[in-house]
Amino acid sequence: MAEIETPAGVANELRDALRSVLGDAGVVSDPALLAARSGDWSEATKMPPALVLLPRTPQQVADVLALCARHRQRIVVQGGLTGLAGGATPAPAEVALSLARLDRIEDIDAVGGTATVQAGVVLEELQARVESQDWYFPLDLGARGSCQVGGNAATNAGGNRVIRYGTMRELVQGIEVALPDGRLLTMMNRVTKNTTGVDLKHLFIGAEGTLGVITRLVLKLSPRPTASSAALCALPSFEAATRLVRDMRRALPGLSAFEVMWSDFMEAAQEIGGLRPAFAEASPVYALVETQGARQEEDRDQLERFLGEALEAGSVSDVVVAQSQGDAHRLWAYRETIGEMLGQLKPHAAFDVGVPMAAMDSFVRTVRDALQSRFPAQRHLFFGHIGDGNLHVLSGPHGSAESLHRVEQLVYEAVGAVGGSISAEHGIGVVKKEFLHFTRSDAELELMRSLKALLDPAGILNTGRVFAPTTSV
Amino acid sequence: MAEIETPAGVANELRDALRSVLGDAGVVSDPALLAARSGDWSEATKMPPALVLLPRTPQQVADVLALCARHRQRIVVQGGLTGLAGGATPAPAEVALSLARLDRIEDIDAVGGTATVQAGVVLEELQARVESQDWYFPLDLGARGSCQVGGNAATNAGGNRVIRYGTMRELVQGIEVALPDGRLLTMMNRVTKNTTGVDLKHLFIGAEGTLGVITRLVLKLSPRPTASSAALCALPSFEAATRLVRDMRRALPGLSAFEVMWSDFMEAAQEIGGLRPAFAEASPVYALVETQGARQEEDRDQLERFLGEALEAGSVSDVVVAQSQGDAHRLWAYRETIGEMLGQLKPHAAFDVGVPMAAMDSFVRTVRDALQSRFPAQRHLFFGHIGDGNLHVLSGPHGSAESLHRVEQLVYEAVGAVGGSISAEHGIGVVKKEFLHFTRSDAELELMRSLKALLDPAGILNTGRVFAPTTSV
């Protein structure tokens, strides 16, 4: 963690006004508490905020924004602080607006399958509450125990099950947003289909808090799956993986995960995670697949039959189908050693890029060759949610900030060359800002800046995240 | 059809400039051709445009917008003219910008499952081309033979299979838009997950051409289903339908349609369509269900087993499972008599509203009772894509414009009262503009107007559609 700097002060007049809106308990200046809000899970330089504000209602959020706009006081919005792009890490002299006390699950509609929640609800808590009513909130990611649904929406979070259920954007039906001018925009739509002009919620989903603060959400639920089957497939080539995912989506519409691991990842998983090889022979590519449904045996038989035929046809080289929950955990363990790998390969460069499927194979070869020739002593691991064209690359350990930067430059240039995305699910924040031009054109950045100027003319809200506020900055 | 008025003229200087961009063949002033572009499928008053412009490239679209902005010449954007809300019907002195010649399917990526197309491609042509390559474009609606994909995106079209594949919004991965200031904003993203700042395409999807003209699209394909099963279920109550759709989504993830018809609709279908009753006894509610997959027999067996168990459990009163394609067509025939009903019940009021599932039953009862008591001589039919909370109501024949308006007022007020949407899939255009306030707040309308002023400061593009350009108009 980088050194913690001393925060700049906040004008007394503003501080008093904030206290009158939030009460004394809602305006925190205790240095230990400020230090605890000095950064997210990224490598961005930590810095405590000048104050932490803890509103308890959406209206208080709006009031705080109006006050800060009047005083030109910059704000950083903070959810569970699990972001990987530094978006919630304070910049000098910013106050932190925490959603932690907006933590109420207001309603679960068990007929229509929607949950109405405040933005500060922790993802895992929502998942549990919804499942207790026989519904399911399919968004799932490693940070589930700390991340908040408001942050999930602001960053358009993804995860393992996007192939079936979509990203957070597809799961948000209604939204409430506090705008930087102090207005509260309430659009708590509870119907799936609503074609009545510009769908304004998309201005805020994925915008990483640059245009407004999400205060409440209506989330779309799915019926809770009561059965789940998993299998690990060894594949003769990446091309075989692209055919397999297409054929599985057609034949097994319950397909809920399709995770690809290249051989370098699998070897590292076995070594670092202390796991036994799943197959007698190594393969160039592996796919971990999962289906969700309602009939355990029937669903597993269906998966087994499908993969048996694929094996006979030679489109799969070998396969292990989980016969129990324990088996399934053992198969997922290869993929989940990523936590240990991230720890062991520090300092590392970790990527979350989008690459068109048709370009994926040559992308991986080109980038792997380039990394291996320039950094022969390091590990370079490739894996990802390939059903969504989402590739993760982990490269490390690297001795210097300079070589980390060279790795980043190399990977993002290659992404730009294939028309991919420099961030499939983690967002831009501050750490990927300098690479944004590889994915977004000047015209797009200009339009984002116009939207920022329209909605946040005082430039107080998460300013400097994602894109520079003006072309000259 | 209402009377066709004579169009106002276009300044010679602009006309010459348009010819220099589009060539003589691209600027049409022949009265017969103008008359052919005088309106869409809605009841909005027809009026020929002052000219029809036929650009052949996206850049020409952008150039036309820049020219018209300079001359303050208003434009109406026209696709296949199949809209039901009057959005493409010219207002006085408007020129029509037709996308008909931007009709190229540029690329089908058979590995990644995307189609790159120009906006004027006809939906049915795209469906066929994609299916010939073993992929599937799931958006489908009655107008498929005429409507264009650009219009589908501009209106966020829905249709029967939204329950599985989403609306058009979920099927658009990349977009290119000509802005009213003459810029061409190219965002032809080909990856599913792209979290790199504000996702600007959503400003244009569903905005009905008020903010820009969609010129090209990257569309997400699904593997082509090679099997399809259908069944018609008689249900003891609407509540049973809500449980059935939840349980089917859980157990049969291939569920691709769940169409509900109330008994009044079913009786009218039998009478007007000359169809035999499917069941010996009438039921209050019917559900027509469809699954799509890859194995005809296995999938049908699975559907049959599921519905057999539902029948035993009493959650379904009776059921017919299609044993052949012919059977399936006979079951869909009940739903598809809607075409004949619309013809026979003219003049009618037809609705496409979104209602939260939990409020649907009482909504239907309240609205039916109110309509029956005020208009006892008319038919009032209820049906819809209930898996998406999308209800259609057809009421007619009504003798006067005044009674049609009373029906509209009654239905939209009831929609507003349950927090529903006055348009689930058809859009607002001009015909539903006066009712928009039942679904969208003043703050939302104000923000839409700000976006309009930002992107179309000269106010030339589809102005007056969806919302009035200023609060005072």
- Residue-wise pLDDT for B252-281, tens only, equals 999 999 999 999 999 999 999 999 999 999
Count the alpha carbons within 13 Å of B74 in the hemisphere toward its beta carbon: 20
Q: How far apart are CA A145 and CA A125, in angstroms?
A: 8
Residue A7 pLDDT greater than 60, yes or no = no
A12: helix, strand or coil = helix
Residue A362 pLDDT greater than 50, yes or no = yes
Residue A342 pLDDT greater than 70, yes or no = yes
Chain A residues whose beta carbon lies within 8 Å of the beta carbon of residue B203:
198, 202-203
- Provide mean pLDDT across the span B33-46: 93
Rounded to the nearest angstrom, the minimum Cα separation between B193 and chain A is 5
Residue B61 pLDDT greater than 70, yes or no = yes
Rounded to the nearest angstrom, the minimum Cα separation between B29 and chain A is 31
Chain A residues whose beta carbon lies within 8 Å of the beta carbon of residue B388:
191-193
- For chain B, how long is the longest CA-to-CA vector? 75
Residue A415 pLDDT greater than 80, yes or no = yes
In this predicted structure, what is the pLDDT of residue B386? 85
In this predicted structure, what is the pLDDT of residue B5? 46
Rounded to the nearest angstrom, the minimum Cα separation between B215 and chain A is 16
Is B390 in contact with A443 (Cβ distance < 8 A)?
A: no
Rounded to the nearest angstrom, the minimum Cα separation between A426 and chain B is 7
Q: What is the chain A residue with the closest CA to B169?
A: A170
Chain B residues whose beta carbon lies within 8 Å of the beta carbon of residue A194:
354, 421, 423-424, 439
The size of the A-B interface in CB pairs under 8 A is 273
Q: What is the chain B residue with the closest CA to A255?
A: B253
Split at pLDDT 50, 70, 90, the class of A470 is: low
Chain B residues whose beta carbon lies within 8 Å of the beta carbon of residue A443:
183-186
Split at pLDDT 50, 70, 90, the class of A2 is: very low
Split at pLDDT 50, 70, 90, the class of A146 is: very high
For residue A195, give the nearest of B193, B389, B426 by CB distance: B426
Best residue in A194, A221, A385 to probe B by mutation, most B CBs within 10 Å? A194
In this predicted structure, what is the pLDDT of residue A159? 86
Number of CB atoms found within 10 A of residue A350's CB: 18
Rounded to the nearest angstrom, the minimum Cα separation between A254 and chain B is 5
- Provide mean pLDDT across the span B322-350: 94
Chain B residues whose beta carbon lies within 8 Å of the beta carbon of residue A439:
194, 196
Is B250 in contact with A223 (Cβ distance < 8 A)?
A: yes
Is B356 in contact with A114 (Cβ distance < 8 A)?
A: yes
- For residues A253, B424, B167 and B46, what is the CA-based torsion angle, rounded to 10 degrees? 140
Is A112 in contact with B444 (Cβ distance < 8 A)?
A: no
Q: What would you report as the CA-atom Rg of chain B, rounded to the nearest whole angstrom? A: 23
In this predicted structure, what is the pLDDT of residue A1? 39
Mean pLDDT of chain B: 94
- Provide mean pLDDT across the span A375-381: 97
Mean pLDDT of chain A: 94
Amino acid at A349: A
In this predicted structure, what is the pLDDT of residue B2? 43
- Provide mean pLDDT across the span A187-194: 89
Is B223 in contact with A250 (Cβ distance < 8 A)?
A: yes
In this predicted structure, what is the pLDDT of residue B377? 96
The per-residue DSSP string of B176-240 comes to EEE-TTS-EEEE---SS---SS--GGGGTTTSTTSS-EEEEEEEE-EEPP-EEEEEEEEES-HHH
Split at pLDDT 50, 70, 90, the class of A388 is: confident
- For residues A227, A232, A237 and A241, what is the CA-based torsion angle, rounded to 10 degrees? 10
Is B421 in contact with A167 (Cβ distance < 8 A)?
A: no
* Cα-based angle A467, A469, A470 (whole degrees, multiple of 5): 110
Residue A223 pLDDT greater than 50, yes or no = yes
Residue A356 pLDDT greater than 50, yes or no = yes
Split at pLDDT 50, 70, 90, the class of A5 is: very low
In this predicted structure, what is the pLDDT of residue B144? 96
What is the tally of helices (H) and strands (E) in chain B? 15, 18
- For residues B386, B388, B389 and B393, what is the CA-based torsion angle, rounded to 10 degrees? -60
Chain B residues whose beta carbon lies within 8 Å of the beta carbon of residue A190:
356, 389, 419
In this predicted structure, what is the pLDDT of residue A4? 46
Is A112 in contact with B389 (Cβ distance < 8 A)?
A: yes
In this predicted structure, what is the pLDDT of residue B470? 66
Split at pLDDT 50, 70, 90, the class of A471 is: low
Residue B4 pLDDT greater than 60, yes or no = no
Q: What is the chain B residue with the closest CA to A360?
A: B112
- Provide mean pLDDT across the span B134-152: 96
Is B292 in contact with A242 (Cβ distance < 8 A)?
A: no
Chain A residues whose beta carbon lies within 8 Å of the beta carbon of residue B199:
156, 169, 202, 205-206
- Provide mean pLDDT across the span B331-350: 94
For residue B436, give the nearest of A196, A224, A441 by CB distance: A196
- Provide mean pLDDT across the span A418-436: 92
Range list of β-strands (E), B275-420: 285-293, 318-321, 349-354, 379-385, 390-396
Best residue in B59, B171, B191 to probe A by mutation, most A CBs within 10 Å? B191
Sheet with A95-98: strands ordered across = A27-28, A52-53, A95-98, A75-78
Rounded to the nearest angstrom, the minimum Cα separation between A159 and chain B is 10
Rounded to the nearest angstrom, the minimum Cα separation between B56 and chain A is 23
Is B421 in contact with A189 (Cβ distance < 8 A)?
A: yes
Amino acid at A261: M
Chain A residues whose beta carbon lies within 8 Å of the beta carbon of residue B189:
419, 421
For residue range B364-412, what is the model confidence (pLDDT) as tens digits? 999 999 999 999 999 999 999 987 889 999 999 999 999 999 999 999 9
Write the CB contacts of A335 (distance below 8 Å, at least 6 apart in sequence).
A259, A261, A269, A288, A383
User: Facing residues of B393 across strands?
Assistant: B351, B382
In this predicted structure, what is the pLDDT of residue B473? 37
User: Facing residues of B235 across strands?
Assistant: B285
In this predicted structure, what is the pLDDT of residue A3? 43
Residue B283 pLDDT greater than 80, yes or no = yes
> Which pairs from A343-347 meet CB under 8 Å and 24+ separation?
A344/A272, A345/A378, A345/A379, A345/A394, A345/A395, A345/A396, A345/A397, A346/A396, A346/A397, A347/A396, A347/A397, A347/A398, A347/A399, A347/A404
In this predicted structure, what is the pLDDT of residue B160? 82
Rounded to the nearest angstrom, the minimum Cα separation between B133 and chain A is 13
Q: Please measure the distance between the N-terminal and C-terminal CA atoms of chain B and give it in whole angstroms.
A: 27
Chain B residues whose beta carbon lies within 8 Å of the beta carbon of residue A197:
206-208, 210, 428, 436, 440, 444, 448, 466-467
For residue range A92-132, what is the model confidence (pLDDT) as tens digits? 999 999 999 999 999 999 999 999 999 999 999 999 999 99
Is A191 in contact with B420 (Cβ distance < 8 A)?
A: yes
Chain B residues whose beta carbon lies within 8 Å of the beta carbon of residue A226:
250
For residue B226, give the nearest of A250, A293, A439 by CB distance: A250
Rounded to the nearest angstrom, the minimum Cα separation between A196 and chain B is 6
Is A202 in contact with B207 (Cβ distance < 8 A)?
A: no
Predicted TM-score (pTM) of this structure: 0.95
Residue B54 pLDDT greater than 90, yes or no = yes
Is A223 in contact with B466 (Cβ distance < 8 A)?
A: no
Residue A59 pLDDT greater than 50, yes or no = yes
Rounded to the nearest angstrom, the minimum Cα separation between B126 and chain A is 19
Residue A81 pLDDT greater than 50, yes or no = yes
Is A389 in contact with B112 (Cβ distance < 8 A)?
A: yes
Is A225 in contact with B467 (Cβ distance < 8 A)?
A: no
For residue B190, give the nearest of A242, A254, A356 by CB distance: A356
Is B156 in contact with A425 (Cβ distance < 8 A)?
A: no
In this predicted structure, what is the pLDDT of residue A224? 97
In this predicted structure, what is the pLDDT of residue A8? 56
Rounded to the nearest angstrom, the minimum Cα separation between A341 and chain B is 24
